[in-house]
Amino acid sequence: GAGVSQSPRYKVAKRGQDVALRCDPISGHVSLFWYQQALGQGPEFLTYFQNEAQLDKSGLPSDRFFAERPEGSVSTLKIQRTQQEDSAVYLCASSPRDPDLGNIQYFGAGTRLSVL
Amino acid sequence: AQRVTQPEKLLSVFKGAPVELKCNYSYSGSPELFWYVQYSRQRLQLLLRHISRESIKGFTADLNKGETSFHLKKPFAQEEDSAMYYCALEAPGGSYIPTFGRGTSLIVHP
């Protein structure tokens, strides 16, 4: 079956522009995560959904960042008034949260955001 | 707070040599630990997790609670092992939010 799909793969934005990044998780996966990965660093947690409920958004760096998953499937990460420090790869991962498969995360290819 | 440290940014070995990618963690309880791998032009994917106690592609990792380590080992490196490797920790019983290390780039020379 299809894996986690993210779009767009690349996004160039001018400083101050709003952007929206999309994530299509694996069908049936309950949990969805967003990460920010700066160059030379590991993924940093941003926010977590279980179905449509956003259970943790402690990693969002500012109130310019907003995420939603209204129907418990597709999720959108929105960044308002982008700044240069927002330039990074944004990764989405989904997880079945199954007693046997547990909490293995399945990652998308990421969206590379460059803010000029 | 939980933390994962991968002290080596880059590890360079020759084909057939043993490999050990280091991972140390900071967590007060009994964590769940994972190794994820990212091959060139591919997405991040799970390599192995400590609760499975399995060997994947010849790699093994043992959780050492005394040293708070979860080093990844392979006795004979292959060129196709060249990739970025990330160690990750999750607090059990929580929301399954992992903490990742910064990653180690493994380069295996022919």
Beta carbons of A103 and B43 less than 8 Å apart: no
- Are B86 and B44 in contact by the 8 Å Cβ rule? The answer is yes
Residue of chain B with shortest Cα separation from A57: B97
- Please answer whether residues A113 and A59 qualify as being in contact, where contact means their C-beta atoms are separated by less than 8 angstroms: no
CB contact under 8 A, A104 and B49: yes
> Searching chain B, which residue's CA lies closest to the CA of residue A41?
B102
Distance from CA of A84 to the nearest CA of B (A): 21
Predicted confidence (pLDDT) per residue in B29-53, tens digit: 788 899 999 999 899 999 998 877 7
Q: What is the mean pLDDT of residues B14-34?
A: 92
pLDDT category at B62 given cuts 50, 70, 90 is confident
Residue A36 to residue A9: CA distance in whole angstroms: 14
A91 close to B (CB below 8 A): yes
Closest CA to B49 of A34, A30, A95: A95
**Cβ-defined contact of B32 to A105 (cutoff 8 Å):** no
Helix (H, G, I), strand (E, B) or coil at B76: coil
**pLDDT surpassing 70 at residue A28:** yes
* B71-105 pLDDT, tens digit each: 999 999 999 999 999 999 987 766 678 899 999 99
pLDDT band at A106, cuts 50/70/90?
very high
- Give yes or no for a contact between A48 and A54, defined as CB atoms under 8 angstroms apart: yes
